A and B are shown apart, each in its own frame.
Chain A
Amino acid sequence: MADTAGGSAAEQSTTPKLFVRQSSGLVRNVSVTNALFFNVAAFVGVGLTLYPAFYSLADVANWKIGPFSDYGWAAIITGLFCVLLALIFSSLTSVMPRSGGDYVFTSRIIHPFLGWMESWTLVIASILIIAFEVPLVLRNLQITAKIIHIGAGGFGGANGWFTDATGTITGMPGFIASMVVLLGIGAICLLPTRSFHRVVTLLAGFGVACFIAMFVFGLLFTHKPSFNANLPKLSGGITAEQLTAAGKAGGLIATDHRGFFSRIFETGAFPIVLSVLLFQYIGFQYSAYIAGEVRGNVRRGVLIALLGALTIGVLANSVYTDVISAHFGFGPNVTWGANYWGFATKPGLPLGQPDSMPLMAAVANHSLWPLWALISLGGTVFPFLLCPVYINFLSRMQLAWSLDRQVPEWFGQVNERMRAPLNAILATLALTAVFLFFQSFKDLPTILATSDHKLNLVSTAFFSIAMALLSWILPGVNAMLVKFRRPDLVRNAPFKRALPWLGLGWIIFPIWIYVFAVIKPIVNGLKGGSALTYLESQGLLDAILFYILGLVIYLVMKYRARSAGVDAKMLFTELPPD
């Protein structure tokens, strides 16, 4: 069995380009459309489209210049830089289409240790994203009930579902509900492959349809004046004007009048917004792994799939979000979101929920509540769906670890029924449960959580951003070094000559973000004498702990492999082809 890449091109061309044998096996034969759809499905940022609340996650002064908010501009800029990353991935995956993605690239091109650390931290970052998404699923259920309450009554206590006394999804109710969601995720993960993909397809199709419905019907059937008029009636008197005024007074909405470039190149607030967008784009990194299976003109097919997904992600996080939030009001959305994340307390959290698009639509036009409730359920699908898809991806990486003896063999052992590494999947679910536990209960030691003794959603997000450091930077380093470290592999790679420059061009972006959004605030925090609290609140100490844990696991496994007679040097020995 083998591949027949290019066969269809040969059939269509007037000049023969490839004569394919009759008895050819078909192995790598994914259409461009399939690859594009796959990429979109794994893109975190697409799944969070319905929530303008993410404007405020960076906890900086938000602004709007031209048609876009700082969030929208950050989505566009991140997308433009990600084009470079897309070119790098399309080049490397064309010549090394491997299960395990970055782990394989880095371990072969630079060093197995860096490959392990990059993938270990990416796995932790991804599990944190799952732990971040599970409460969003529950929050969406509350929001859906709230929409029904606005339109038809009932569900008056929806805001109290799964929450503690503060209205946060935490404590015993939050943990139990999170475990139920996690069980649902686990049930999908443990389905046989064919059923798994059927469920994923069905849910993803429903979610996409709801997104489109929100854009079309939201703009057609809701209006800002009715939103402004109804909001105080439903939120205990909180008005859109109050929200905007509080945002300006609290520094959540920029009031100065600096120019576009001065805002883009500043080293304070904007890099933090960019870091949030990087957090949103992390699925883009996973999805590139299928690129090597694209048939026909590999370079063109891969590029269309990657850049197509990127375009959709950028549009979803800029045009889509900014148009709908502007439809209801940029200022109210910013302050509403900040109140949800806990960065502001005035004038309060309207309706006790984050500013989700269908909820705002229900405020503006409650007679169409069934439509908004359905869309809200569609919004529930993506945070939920992302979790089993991620776990599926992670299991491939964990399988690659197991094959390379970076973890014990049993860890990646393929289960007969599922035909998937069951132990790795269960371990991922268990670690997610641990993070959910620490989001729910005040059981973290003081050294890791000085203020509240637990993780919250914001610190989980920044914990994830800190864990993803190597995953963003090393692809650029791989691109810069591969020509020199593994010339045998990239001799015919697309963009081979440009790869070092693509790597250099890309690497500037994550380094810029990590220097100004992570390292600089740490230094400032240390200078201010409140370092420990700062590090804890951003989840950075937890990140350091997991970096150290990764190092320890690597050393233990190296010792273990040596004791068992496994010569790790042999695993990736470069064999001269000539």
Chain B
Amino acid sequence: MATRIYIASDLHAAEKAWRKFINAIKANVYKSDVALLAGDLTGKAIVPILERNGGYEAEVLGVHRRARDEQELTQLQRDIADLGYYSFITTEADANRLSSDEHARDELLERLMTERVHEWMALATDRLSDSSTPLYLIPGNDDEFTIDDALNQPGYGPINSDGKVLDIPGDLQLLSSGWSNNTPWATPREETEEQLYERLDALAQQVRDPRRAIFMIHVPPHDSGLDEAPLLDENLRPTISAGDVLRGPVGSTAVRRIIEKYQPVLSVHGHIHESGGERRIGDTLAINPGSEANHGILRGYLIDIGKKGVELAQRVEG
């Protein structure tokens, strides 16, 4: 009997996608034995909701929204959260002050990120209390270290497997790392290719049998087709030609070397939202579920691992 792994990634604070993910595990929609979330839990932006004219106003994706009462305010906050943004209620004066105070903005963002991660862990703990499917997750390169306390807090159901090699159901081992190679944006968990290689190699040496191991590494292997992202110009804007965005490989050479060296049965990645798919690297099946979480779409993969290796790879979305 094969062990079924359900995999998603890069939810980036998108409330709807997280709830779908948890509900899929709770209801065992995919009949999975293990659930994995391959990093990047937090979001990127805050939408100020201005208390004004006896109501609340915000601009969401360029559309002006107004909430006239508490019920509409709750809906507005939820809509913003579904997009993977954070919101906070403020006055116009405070919003203006924040716009010129980068430090205060960063503090606010970190607070909101941590609050949401706590909320997510609490929700998962509550909803999955009766589930027999364990959920392993890792932070990604975009996630601040401040959320680690929330991820590691005793009592929460989801298991933060970052930087560890753990035994999981199906006589399998799970190697996990949320770090990436360097990006143009100086994200919290990134390092040089050599440093990343050393980090991963040290972990891989703890694995008993790579053919019974899953490597969950946030960043995909370089030039694998799972790492195609827009090529950026000197201003960090996508290079456009003929109206289309030019793309190129931005994955990690260290991750590729580790996979080629150890040949795990499965490697699980995220990081590049628009490059979801599955590829073979030697005997390893490498997958990236991709992400459309900020559109409320939960992309995932189901992988069945039997005694002889991967028996089924099926893309799913909900």
Q: Which residues of chain A have a CB within 8 Å of any CB of chain B? A: 1-7, 9, 15-27, 29-31, 34-39, 41, 95-98, 193-194, 197-198, 200-201, 204, 290, 293, 296-301, 403-405, 414, 416, 419, 488-489, 491-492, 494, 564-567, 570-578
Stretch at the interface among B161-169, B203-211, B291-299: B291-299
Q: In the complex, what's the smallest C-beta–C-beta distance from B159 to chain A, in angstroms?
A: 22
10 nearest CB pairs, A to B: A297-B62, A38-B243, A575-B318, A197-B241, A575-B20, A17-B59, A37-B243, A16-B99, A23-B185, A201-B242
| Closest Cβ neighbor of A37 among chain B residues | B243
Task: Say yes or no: is B133 at the interface (Cβ < 8 Å to chain A).
Answer: no
User: Which residues of B90-137 are within 8 A (CB) of A?
Assistant: 92, 95-96, 98-99, 102, 105-106, 108-109
Please determine whether B188 and A23 come into contact, CB atoms closer than 8 angstroms: yes
Cβ-defined contact, B317 with A572, below 8 A:
yes
Q: Are B62 and A577 neighbours in the complex by a CB distance under 8 Å?
A: no
Q: How far is the CA of A198 from the CA of B244 in the complex (A)?
A: 10
Residues of the B chain whose Cβ atoms lie less than 8 Å from the Cβ of A35:
243
B272 to chain A, nearest CB (A): 6
A24 engages B225 (CB within 8 Å): no
- Report the separation of the CA atoms of residues A16 and B248 in the bound assembly, to the nearest whole angstrom: 34
Q: A414-B225, A577-B296 are known contacts. Are A194 and B241 too (CB-CB below 8 A)?
A: yes
Let me know if B242 and A27 touch, CB within 8 A.
Answer: no
- Asked if residues B230 and A29 are in contact (CB atoms below 8 Å), the reply is yes
Contact status B61-A6, CB under 8 Å: yes
Say whether, besides A16-B99, A95-B296, A575-B23, A414 and B242 are in contact (CB < 8 Å): no
Interfacial chain A residues near B1, Cβ < 8 Å: none
Contact B19 A1 (CB under 8 A): no
A383 to B: closest C-beta gap in Å: 17
Task: Give which listed residue, A6, A22, A194, A419, contacts B228 with CB less than 8 A.
Answer: A419
- Are A405 and B314 in touch, CB under 8 angstroms? yes
Expressed in whole angstroms, the minimum distance between the Cβ of B260 and any Cβ of chain A is: 14
Cβ B297 vs Cβ A96 within 8 A:
yes
Nearest B-chain residue to A98, judged by Cβ: B292
Chain B residues with Cβ below 8 Å from A296 are 62
**Neighbouring A residues of B45 by C-beta, 8 Å:** 4, 6-7, 18-21, 24
Instruction: Pick the interface stretch among B148-156, B171-179, B193-201, B231-239.
Output: B231-239
**Count of interface residues, chain B, beta-carbon cutoff 8 Å:** 87
Dominant secondary structure of chain B at its interface with chain A: mixed
- Contact indicator A200/B242 (Cβ below 8 Å): yes
The answer to whether A576 and B315 have CB atoms under 8 Å apart is no
Residue in B185, B292, B297 with the greatest tally of chain A CB atoms within 10 Å = B297
List chain A residues, Cβ under 8 A from B15. Answer: 577
Chain B residues, Cβ within 8 Å of A574? 318
Contact between chains at B242 and A38 (CB < 8 Å)? yes
- What is the distance, in angstroms, from B114's C-beta to the closest C-beta of chain A? 14
Closest chain A CB from B104 CB (angstroms) = 10
Q: Which of B237-294 contact A (CB under 8 A)?
A: 237-238, 240-249, 271-274, 277, 279, 292, 294
User: A492 to chain B: which residues have CB within 8 Å?
Assistant: 60-61, 79, 82-83
Give the residues in chain B near A293, CB-CB below 8 Å.
Answer: 245
Known contacts A34-B243, A578-B19; is-contact A299 B62 (Cβ 8 Å): yes
A576 to B302, CA, bound (A): 19
- In the assembly, what is the distance between CA of A293 and CA of B243, in Å? 11
Q: Are the CB atoms of A570 and B29 closer together than 8 Å? A: yes
Q: Select A30's contact among B79, B108, B240, B274, beta carbons within 8 Å.
A: B240
Considering the chains assembled together, what is the distance between the CA atoms of A508 and B316 in angstroms?
Answer: 35
